[in-house]
Amino acid sequence: MKIATWNVNSLKARREHLLKWLADFDPDVVLLQELKGLEEIFPMEDVNAAGYEAAVVGQKTYNGVAILSKTPIDVTERRLPGEEEDEQARYVEGIVQGVRLGCIYLPNGNPTPGDKYDYKLRWMRRLYAHARDLLTKTDEPFVLGGDYNVIPQPEDVYAPEKWTEDALFLPQSRNAFNCIVNLGLTDAYRVYNTEGGRYSWWDYRAGSWAKDQGCRIDHLLLNPKAADMLHGSGIDKTPRGWDKPSDHTPVWCELDV
């Protein structure tokens, strides 16, 4: 099972990119973030014609997540548990061929300090609690993938000294991410790619893409059962080089299901 995560940064703007990439890369499951639209404007007919079902949680103008799959999706969650008043469309979870998949669009948190950063840390605590529950209460292999908006280590960002006050790289953010990983999860990308300087996001400004000045903030975290099935991972930089691209590019892994 080839699983990918991709923040498309507006599906309306990147619809043709998505369809081209689905045909070229041929993933079995895709976790999409930042759709920036309500569910009723999701291009379901086009996605179905490309060979995929979709479970979508949309929101007007902001956020929005979806799971695309070549096989049926049994949806188990349409929001991250733990804060009922949180209406932001940042999480959807489902089971595909016996693998549980959580699609995550974690809050950015900037500017810091402030309410947005407080929300980010609360969201990460909720994710920690949910991951812990999944580890103790479910038998399936699972993958928690998406745009985490966290740079785990200095080698995951160009010029880390420039990011010391950013919500993506603050010690509290990195510690919260590490707490989730240290529950017993595996960063799929790092199993097969140990070198630094490999990124999944590049700013639109200052020629960041051309200079390869980016950061790695899109992650696929696997529980032990999924990690035992892992036999490949990587970053597909191709879509970031297309005309009018998303600022993110897909990150992928393969499980021997």
Token code pair at residue 117: 């950063």
Per the prediction, the chain carries an average pLDDT of 98
Q: What is the pLDDT of residue 28?
A: 98
Distance between CA atoms of 257 and 72, rounded to whole angstroms? 15
Strands 230-235 and 142-147: unpaired
Domains of the chain with bracketed CATH: 2-250 (3.60.10.10)
Whole-prediction pTM value?
0.98
For the chain, the 3-state helix, strand and coil shares in percent, each to the nearest 5, are 35, 25, 40
C-alpha 64/C-alpha 89 separation (Å) is 5
Dist. CA 254–CA 29, nearest whole Å: 10
pLDDT digits (tens, 9 = 90+) for 68-100: 999 999 999 999 999 999 999 999 999 999 999
Structure tokens at 131: 């991951």
pLDDT in tens, 126-157: 999 999 999 999 999 999 999 999 999 999 99
pLDDT digits 0-9 by tens, 159-171: 999 999 999 999 9
User: Is residue 203 helix, strand or coil?
Assistant: coil
CA distance 253 to 220: 8
